[in-house]
Chains A and B, each alone.
Chain A
Amino acid sequence: MTSLAPGSSDSTSLAGLAVAETAADSHGHEQHGEHADVRLFGLATFLVADGMTFAGFFAAYLTFRAVNPLPEGSSYELELVLPAINTLLLLVSSYTFHRAGRGLLRGDHPSCRLWLLVSAALGAAFLGGQMVEYFNLPFGLTDNLFASTFYALTGFHGLHVTLGVICILIVWWQARAGGRITSATPFGLEAAELYWHFVDGIWVILFGILYLL
C-alpha cells in the first residue's frame, strides 16, 4: 500500500492506488467494543480552554495596569504574608495529591485516601486564608479598577479551588474499598489531580503578577 497523500497530482503514483481493506486488517485490529480511553486528553484540552480564560483576564489586568492610572490615594500595594502562606499551601497540596495517586497505584487505598484528605484540607485552608484576606483588604469590589480586577481574578481562581476541593472529596469517597476508583480504574483520581495541578499553576502566575509585580 502506498503512503502517498491523497490528492497527489503525481499521476504515476495514482495508478497503483488501492483505497481500502477491511478492518480485520493486517494489524489484526478489531473495530468493535471500546476505543482507547481519551478522557484525560479531553480534560487536558478543556484545561487549555480554561487557561485561555485566565490568560484573557491576565492580559486585561496587565493592560489596565500599564495604561489606566489609579485614582489619587489608591495603590497596587498588597499585604504579602498571608498570600505567600497560601501559595505554599497550594504547592504542598499538589505534592500531597501526587502522593495520593502513588498510593492508589500501589493499591494502598487507606494511604491514598489519607493523602486526599490532606490535599482537600490544604485547599480548604487556602480558601479560608483567601476569605481572611478579603475581609481585611482596604478596598471593595467597585472602589477602583485595580480593586475590581483583583477581586475578579482571585474570585475566579477561588471558584476553581472550591470546585477542586469538592472534586477531591468525591474522589476520596469513590476511592474507598469497593468504590469505583481502583488502581485498575484510576481515571477519576487522575482527572482530579490534573485539574488540581492546573489550578495550582494558575495561582503561581496569578500570585506573581498580582502580588509581586
Chain B
Amino acid sequence: MTLANPSDFQPQGQPAPPAPSGGLQPEGWLRYLSFSLDHKVIGLQYLVCGFLFYFLGGALAGVIRTELASPISDFVARDTYNQVLTLHGTVMIFLWIVPVVNGGFGNYLIPFYVGARDMAFPRLNAVAFWLIPPAGLLLISSYFLQGGAAQSGWTAYPPLSITTPALGQVLWILSVLLLGGSSIFGGINFIATILKLRRPGLKLMQLPMYCWAMLGTSLLVVLSTPVLAGTLILLSFDIIAHTGFFNPALGGNVVVYQHLFWFYSHPAVYIMVLPAFGLVSEILPIHARKPLFGYATMVYSIMGIVLLGLVVWAHHMFTSGTPPWMRLFFTIATAFIAVPTGIKFFNWLATLWGGKIALNSAMLFACAFIVNFVFGGITGVALAQVPFDIHVHDTYFVVGHFHYIVYGGTVFVIFSAVYHWYPKFTGRMLNEDLGRLHFLLTFVGFNLCFAPQHWLGLNGMPRRVAEYDPSFTTWNQVSSVGALLMGLSTLPFLINVVVSAYRGDRAGDNPWNALTPEWLTSSPPPVENWIGDAPLVTHPYGYGTPTDRIDLNVATGRELWVGPDR
C-alpha cells in the first residue's frame, strides 16, 4: 500500500490564507480559552467542555447509585437526592450530549464535509459556545444557594416545579434557556452551512451522511427548542409572578405544560441520537472498508425520523388523562418511527457484511452501539403501546430504556468518534490497549448497570425516589456495581487522551486511509482547513471498489492512495 501525503497534492506556490481574525487570536493552547472563530477550535471547545460536564454528571450518577445500593435513604438527605437526580439529568442532556454530539463534532466536521473554510456565521458560532460555560456555572451554583438546586427532575413538571424552592428552579430555567439559545444558534449555523456553503460542484446527495444527520437535527432544533423556551418563560412567570398558566389551584392547566414540554423533549431524543447515527455512518465504512450501504435510503430515513419525531410527543403522556383518540394516534405514529430507524440499522449491518473489518477501539464502540441501541429501540416500541406503558410508566423500566438509547446509543458513539477522530484532532494515535480496556469496562459496566433496571421497573420500582421496597435490593446492587465499573472505565480513557496527546504514535495525515474530506488535509489541519483549495469529494464512501484507486486530483492525474490493503 502506498499512502501519499495529501499536502503533496496541494497546488504549489500558493501562500496560506491569512487567519480570519487578522492575527488577533492567541496562538497555541490559549486559543482554546479564547473567543476563537475557527470552527475546529470551537468544536474542540465544545468537546472538552462537554467532557468536563460529563464527569460532573457521572459523579452525580455515582451519588444516585450509592444511595440506591441500599433500600433505605442513608447516603444523602432526601431533598439532596432530588437535587442530585435533577442536576444529573440536566447536566447530562443539556451540557454533555446535546453540545458534544451537535456542537462538538458538528463544528469540527461539517465545514470539511461541505468543502468550506469555516461555518457560515463564525461569530454566532463562538457566541453559541460561550453561552454554555456560564449556563453550566449558573446551574451548579444553584446547588449552593438558599433552598438548593431544582428538585423537580429534568422535566420540571408543574405543580412540583412551582411548589419546590423557587430560587433553584428559576436558576434552572435560566440555565436551560441559555443552553436552548446556544442550541438554536448552532442549528441555524448548521442549516446555513450545509445548504448554502457547499463547495461549487458538490451536490446534496454527495454529502457524507453526518451532514444529513446534522441537517435533520438542526431542523428539529430550530422547530422545537423555541417552544420549550416559551414554555419555560411561562413557567417562570408562574413561579415568580404567581400567574396560573400551569397551576391548577389558580385555574391553570398542567397538561398543557406536558404537551409543550414534550413537543421539544421528544424531538430532543432525536437531537441527541440522529447526530450519533450520522457519526456511526462515517465510522463503519472506513473500518469495514466498504461503501455505506443504501445511501439514499439513509437520507430518506433521517428525514422520515425528523418528520415523525415532531408528531409523537404525547406518548410520554399516556397516563396524563390523554383521550383515547390521541393515544391511538400517538401509538401508531411512534410505532412508525421503528421503520426508518430499522432501515438505518439494516443498512449498517449490510455495510459491515463481508467487509474487511478492523476491530479497533473505534469499531468496538460503534458495533456495541448497534447492539445497545437495538435493545433500547425494542423496549421503545414496547413503551409506545398504551397498556404496557401504563404498567411501567414512571418506573425504572423507563430509566433503563432511556439509558440504553442515550448512553448505549449516543455516548458509545461519542467514544467511538473520539477514538476515530483523535488522530485528526492531535496528529497522534490513541493507545489501542487502553482503548480496549476502556471498551470492555464500559460495555460490561453499562449492561450490568441498566439491564437489571428493566426487570426492576416491570416489578414496579418507581423512579426518582431515594427508597425502595427491600425485595428490589439485589438487582439494585448489581446495577450499582455496574455503575462503579462505568466510573472506573473513565480512568483508562482519561489517561489515554491526556498521555497520547504528548506520547502517542504519530498518526500521519490519514491513518485510516479514509476518503471523507477531513482526512484529505494535514492532521491537525491548518487554520482554514486546506492550504490550497478544498478537494471535491463526490464519493466519500468509495471503499473496496474493483480498483480501489481514488483520484484526488483529476486535473493532474495524481492519486491520493492506491491499493486495496491497509
Residues of A within 8 A of B (CB): 1, 3-9, 11, 14-15, 17-27, 29-32, 35-36, 38-39, 41-42, 45-46, 48-57, 59-60, 63-64, 67-68, 70-71, 141-142, 144-145, 148-149, 152, 156
Which of A4, A14, A53, A142 lies in contact with B229, CB distance below 8 A? A53
List 25 A-B residue pairs with CB atoms under 8 Å apart, sorted by A's residue number: A3-B203, A9-B294, A15-B547, A18-B538, A19-B539, A22-B532, A23-B115, A23-B533, A25-B200, A27-B201, A31-B115, A42-B120, A42-B121, A45-B188, A53-B227, A56-B230, A57-B230, A60-B231, A60-B256, A67-B253, A144-B251, A145-B245, A148-B237, A152-B237, A156-B230
Which of B121, B537, B546, B556 lies in contact with A11, CB distance below 8 A? B546
Given contacts A60-B256, A141-B243, contact A68 B251 (CB under 8 A): yes
Cβ contacts under 8 Å, A30 to chain B: 533
Q: How far is the CB of B476 from chain A (nearest CB, A)?
A: 39
Cβ contacts under 8 Å, B222 to chain A: 45, 48-49, 52
| A18-B554, A22-B536, A141-B241 given; 12 more Cβ-contact pairs under 8 Å | A6-B206, A6-B539, A7-B294, A19-B515, A19-B542, A23-B533, A38-B197, A49-B188, A52-B224, A56-B263, A68-B252, A152-B243
Cβ contacts under 8 Å, A64 to chain B: 245, 252-253, 256
Given contacts A20-B537, A60-B256, contact A7 B226 (CB under 8 A): no
- Bound Cα distance from A52 to B219, whole angstroms: 12
- Bound Cα distance from A59 to B293, whole angstroms: 42
The answer to whether A29 and B552 touch across the interface, beta carbons within 8 angstroms, is no
Which of A30, A48, A156 has the most chain B CB within a 10 Å cutoff?
A: A48
Q: How far is the CB of A35 from chain B (nearest CB, A)?
A: 6
The answer to whether B200 and A27 touch across the interface, beta carbons within 8 angstroms, is yes
Residues of B within 8 A of A (CB): 11, 17, 115-117, 120-121, 124, 184, 187-189, 191-192, 195-197, 199-201, 203, 205-206, 222-227, 229-231, 233-234, 237, 241-245, 250-253, 256, 259-260, 263, 285, 291-296, 298, 515, 520, 530, 532-542, 545-547, 550-556, 560
Q: How far is the CB of A173 from chain B (nearest CB, A)?
A: 22
Which of A30, A45, A46 has the most chain B CB within a 10 Å cutoff?
A: A45
Which of B200, B253, B542 lies in contact with A68, CB distance below 8 A? B253
Given contacts A23-B532, A41-B192, contact A148 B245 (CB under 8 A): yes
Which of A17, A36, A52 lies in contact with B226, CB distance below 8 A? A52
Cβ contacts under 8 Å, A71 to chain B: 251
The answer to whether A49 and B292 touch across the interface, beta carbons within 8 angstroms, is no
The answer to whether B197 and A35 touch across the interface, beta carbons within 8 angstroms, is yes
The answer to whether B533 and A45 touch across the interface, beta carbons within 8 angstroms, is no
Cβ contacts under 8 Å, B184 to chain A: 46, 49
- Bound Cα distance from A41 to B542, whole angstroms: 33
Which of A14, A20, A36, A49 lies in contact with B545, CB distance below 8 A? A14
- Bound Cα distance from A2 to B113, whole angstroms: 19
Cβ contacts under 8 Å, A6 to chain B: 206, 291-292, 295, 538-542
The answer to whether A145 and B251 touch across the interface, beta carbons within 8 angstroms, is yes
Taking CB as reference atom, which chain B residue is nearest A33? B17
Interface contacts (Cβ under 8 Å), in number, total: 219
Which of A23, A25, A42, A148 lies in contact with B243, CB distance below 8 A? A148
The answer to whether A21 and B555 touch across the interface, beta carbons within 8 angstroms, is yes
Given contacts A7-B295, A41-B192, A56-B226, contact A20 B256 (CB under 8 A): no
The answer to whether A7 and B293 touch across the interface, beta carbons within 8 angstroms, is yes
Cβ contacts under 8 Å, B17 to chain A: 32
The answer to whether A55 and B227 touch across the interface, beta carbons within 8 angstroms, is yes
Given contacts A52-B227, A145-B251, contact A9 B293 (CB under 8 A): yes
Taking CB as reference atom, which chain B residue is nearest A43? B188
6 smallest beta-carbon distances between A and B, as pairs: A23-B533, A7-B295, A56-B227, A7-B292, A53-B226, A148-B243
- Bound Cα distance from A38 to B114, whole angstroms: 15
Which of A8, A19, A24 has the most chain B CB within a 10 Å cutoff?
A: A19
Taking CB as reference atom, which chain A residue is nearest B228? A56
Cβ contacts under 8 Å, A70 to chain B: 251
Taking CB as reference atom, which chain A residue is nearest B10? A22
The answer to whether A59 and B260 touch across the interface, beta carbons within 8 angstroms, is yes
Which of B115, B191, B243, B551 lies in contact with A142, CB distance below 8 A? B243
Given contacts A6-B542, A7-B294, contact A56 B552 (CB under 8 A): no
The answer to whether B553 and A29 touch across the interface, beta carbons within 8 angstroms, is no
The answer to whether B199 and A23 touch across the interface, beta carbons within 8 angstroms, is yes
Q: How far is the CB of B115 from chain A (nearest CB, A)?
A: 8
Cβ contacts under 8 Å, B234 to chain A: 57, 60, 152
Which of A20, A59, A60, A142 has the most chain B CB within a 10 Å cutoff?
A: A20
The answer to whether B295 and A46 touch across the interface, beta carbons within 8 angstroms, is no
The answer to whether A19 and B538 touch across the interface, beta carbons within 8 angstroms, is yes
- Bound Cα distance from A59 to B540, whole angstroms: 44
Which of A8, A46, A60, A145 lies in contact with B244, CB distance below 8 A? A145
Taking CB as reference atom, which chain B residue is nearest A9? B293
Cβ contacts under 8 Å, A27 to chain B: 200-201
- Bound Cα distance from A171 to B545, whole angstroms: 57
Given contacts A5-B295, A29-B200, A49-B222, contact A35 B116 (CB under 8 A): yes
Which of B188, B197, B292 has the most chain A CB within a 10 Å cutoff?
A: B188
The answer to whether B260 and A60 touch across the interface, beta carbons within 8 angstroms, is yes
Given contacts A24-B555, A63-B256, A145-B245, contact A15 B237 (CB under 8 A): no
Taking CB as reference atom, which chain B residue is nearest A146? B251
Cβ contacts under 8 Å, A3 to chain B: 203
Cβ contacts under 8 Å, A148 to chain B: 237, 243-245
